[in-house]
Structure 1
């Protein structure tokens, strides 16, 4: 039987064709529409989260980046009983993990992965041929109670705890006589929770010198990269008498006020070292190159030498962006600082020493420096009179020689250059080339900007 159908009208025909086209399009672009739908949904969640000040629960997240395997054997901290709740003390978990890795040296060592979470711990030691890997959103937290922090002898080149005679507190993460150590990650954080320490220091309630956040001593082949270090009780990163050290892509943070002596990086009697591509904003020197203190540093006799510092952004409202000294009694030589931006700081670059230090600072090159809103641009100071005790030799005069400043530019600088030598400590062979610094005055940062220029 044949059924006669009426012909479609023009409007009905267009509607049918459009429906067929949409079905074909959706079928062939299903993946694209899925992606667009997920992106739209995510944007709604993000918008709602921002609209309520970050308190809205986000149910859709970007998957966590996989942790690369950098050693033949890899462990997770949770394999050793670690709990990342910010409350459980994980010191034993870290110690058991390090012990397991210490047995793998002949196999190329081991990697300890710290997953996302807040991992409270007392100080612990690293071992040779070890990689400590902090995942994204992983935070190692230093316990605040100083009774958990071990006491150690004074550094031999200081003979003194730096703040008190006798022992000093150890660092949160520590290593001695090591080889082939890597601390890295997806920008995970090591947090010293220094606020309690700073308060007790100001109130004179501590009987020993505060400990650094990370201290590696008498070691070689050290790589520290792609992590954040923050709120150290004392100096943040302190390589001591080490060789072949690389510090790269590290962020170091502490409050710029009321966080005393929170230097960023303190290379101390170190040789063959690179510090590059770092951001540092702290409560003391961003970088301070050292080599021992007065008679103890002279006797220890280990210089800091062959150090390259480049591509840094630094803020220091208390001290200087990059310093040499004041503890430099073992000598400092062959240092290059290049591509440095110092902003909103008290001083940009500084060399500081004093009678009694001995030693030398020589063959120092600064190249391509930029100062932005800095009180004093370049400082060489020879009367920085801090001494460990009365046993120093008052006739041990340091020698300062061959210092070059090439391509230095700045704006909003109150005092471009301040060099203070003396008859006993002359400052010799200082070279300025291609230097122009816009000078400002105290009352108004950019009210009047004459130019100091040296060609």
Structure 2
């Protein structure tokens, strides 16, 4: 009797699971675009067929728009609530390079300024629960767009600029200075605006007309396992989430014509008007190859950038590794940033750079136009074949503040330099150079150097060169023989040095100071 009861119970559970499976399958209804007139041999443009499939899905509350193996030619695809685009393995979406296909213009944001512009290739506006997934490929065919942007021969975009100006009567030329004069604004490849619960997963993206993946003002965005490959081309950034909350980027592979991943929050006047920060981002387990920067913050950061974690990434061949950039006039605060467990190789410029003078500007009183960098921390970073280990370039009226480096190992042609900063710390940092000092500072206040060294001492250079630097604590360092000195102190504003608990036995002259330094430097 007990066995019979157990059998009935098992049958009941199986029926329950079967019913749940059936209900789930019904809820996840597929809409094959070929059933709505699309051709998978690229013989006809499929834009209308895809629109019909999406409309049919919307009528039943949502569903999956399915692209099976084959090649599909299409114009822009607009996602709605509860729509998943599934591009299966073997499927390729080829986007038209006929600019007329991307009209009428739609609300967008371009280089940090809100505008009406060409429709992005994938576009969503105020949608929820949307996804672009699969193991297929999407090709933006950006070459013609790049040519129009750069005003190459035989490309005449005046018609489209007339349409742009008619749609943007309230846009002030300085908001898009440079681009307006050049006369053409390209669309991003994937742009979601004011959306919630966005997933982009698994796909391969090539030849973007402009920025590739560009969520704007979105909440809960996940970009997972995506491959992005753009050839050398203008402004074809990889992943640029702007003014979003809760962004997760993981397990991606990126090689592009500009920055690989960039975090932004609007530009100047327009960015401050929206006042929408980029916050709570996680970037992890991603490889970045060709590109101007690996992970970049700015330069459009007028709405602020905060609470960002960057970890477990490889930069191999980018111009820079971690880059944070801004200029007077942008305003905004960059703060609460953590960068850890990074490998860098073949970095053509700086491994780490924080630059508040990205554009040439004149000193001005501190105001909402003044950018702020503070509370930014780097740890567990290894780099080889690097041109410059790093730079911090602040502004005199509001220096960079609270920057720390822990467990850093960099082999570089040139070392680390710091200008206009305060509350800077180096803990267990090794910087090996072939030219000059491993660390140079100027106009820095409150500097702690703990366990700093180089494995390639240079007979004509001090390991550390400090100019007009005050409130300095140097301790627990054991320099190798061969350097001119461990630390060289110059500048009449240099003062208040504590140098203790170091092992200077291998150096004939551990500390040098210029005659203009008023304080007599004492060390043990």
**TM-score between the two structures when normalised by the length of structure 1:** 0.76
Deviations 1:175-228 (A, max 9, x none): 01111112111x201110001111222226443310011111101111111111
Q: Give the corresponding residue for 1:75.
A: 31
How far off is 1:70 after superposition? 9.5
The CA distance in 2 between the partners of 1:113 and 1:411, in whole Å, is 45
**What SS does structure 1 have at the residue aligned with 2:317?**
strand
Aligned ranges 1:230-379 → 2 under 5 Å: 230-255=206-231, 257=232, 259-317=233-291, 319-375=292-348, 376-379=350-353
Q: Alignment partner for residue 109 of structure 2, among 148, 155, 158?
A: 155
The CA distance in 2 between the partners of 1:435 and 1:408, in whole Å, is 5
Evaluate the alpha carbon distance shift between residue 343 and residue 156 of structure 1 in structure 2; reply closer, same or farther with a 3 A threshold: closer
Gaps of 5+ in 2: 1-23, 162-183, 415-431, 439-450, 454-524
The CA distance in 2 between the partners of 1:189 and 1:289, in whole Å, is 25
The CA distance in 2 between the partners of 1:70 and 1:339, in whole Å, is 39
The CA distance in 1 between the partners of 2:26 and 2:330, in whole Å, is 43
Which one is further off, 205-214 or 260-269? 205-214
Whether contact under 8 Å (1:182, 1:224) holds in the other structure is yes
Q: Give the corresponding residue for 1:91.
A: 47
How far off is 1:383 after superposition? 2.0
Evaluate the alpha carbon distance shift between residue 71 and residue 232 of structure 1 in structure 2; reply closer, same or farther with a 3 A threshold: farther
The CA distance in 2 between the partners of 1:75 and 1:407, in whole Å, is 48
The CA distance in 2 between the partners of 1:394 and 1:147, in whole Å, is 43
Q: Give the corresponding residue for 1:193.
A: 141
Evaluate the alpha carbon distance shift between residue 386 and residue 329 of structure 1 in structure 2; reply closer, same or farther with a 3 A threshold: farther
**What SS does structure 2 have at the residue aligned with 1:102?**
helix
Q: Give the corresponding residue for 1:43.
A: none
How far off is 1:97 after superposition? 0.7
The CA distance in 1 between the partners of 2:27 and 2:340, in whole Å, is 38
The CA distance in 2 between the partners of 1:175 and 1:124, in whole Å, is 9
Q: Alignment partner for residue 190 of structure 2, among 202, 214, 226?
A: 214
Deviations 1:100-133 (A, max 9, x none): 111122xxx2111101111111112011111111
Evaluate the alpha carbon distance shift between residue 286 and residue 451 of structure 1 in structure 2; reply closer, same or farther with a 3 A threshold: farther
Evaluate the alpha carbon distance shift between residue 370 and residue 89 of structure 1 in structure 2; reply closer, same or farther with a 3 A threshold: same
CA-atom RMSD in angstroms: 2.5
The CA distance in 1 between the partners of 2:91 and 2:329, in whole Å, is 45
Q: Give the corresponding residue for 2:133.
A: 184
Structure 2 residue 409 is the aligned partner of structure 1 residue 439: no
Whether contact under 8 Å (2:341, 2:379) holds in the other structure is yes
**What SS does structure 1 have at the residue aligned with 2:378?**
strand
Query: Which of structures 1 and 2 has the larger relative contact order (alpha carbons within 8 angstroms, sep 6+)?
Result: 1
The CA distance in 1 between the partners of 2:73 and 2:240, in whole Å, is 25
Deviations 1:280-321 (A, max 9, x none): 00000101101111011101011110000000100234x201
How far off is 1:229 after superposition? 1.2
The CA distance in 2 between the partners of 1:305 and 1:316, in whole Å, is 26
The CA distance in 2 between the partners of 1:323 and 1:70, in whole Å, is 43
Deviations 1:65-113 (A, max 9, x none): xxx96952111110100101223100001100111111122xxx21111
Whether contact under 8 Å (1:70, 1:111) holds in the other structure is no
How far off is 1:273 after superposition? 1.0
How far off is 1:386 after superposition? 9.1
Aligned length: 367
Evaluate the alpha carbon distance shift between residue 447 and residue 330 of structure 1 in structure 2; reply closer, same or farther with a 3 A threshold: closer
Whether contact under 8 Å (2:314, 2:344) holds in the other structure is yes
Evaluate the alpha carbon distance shift between residue 157 and residue 210 of structure 1 in structure 2; reply closer, same or farther with a 3 A threshold: closer
Evaluate the alpha carbon distance shift between residue 90 and residue 397 of structure 1 in structure 2; reply closer, same or farther with a 3 A threshold: same
Query: Could you say which structure has the larger radius of gyration?
Result: 1
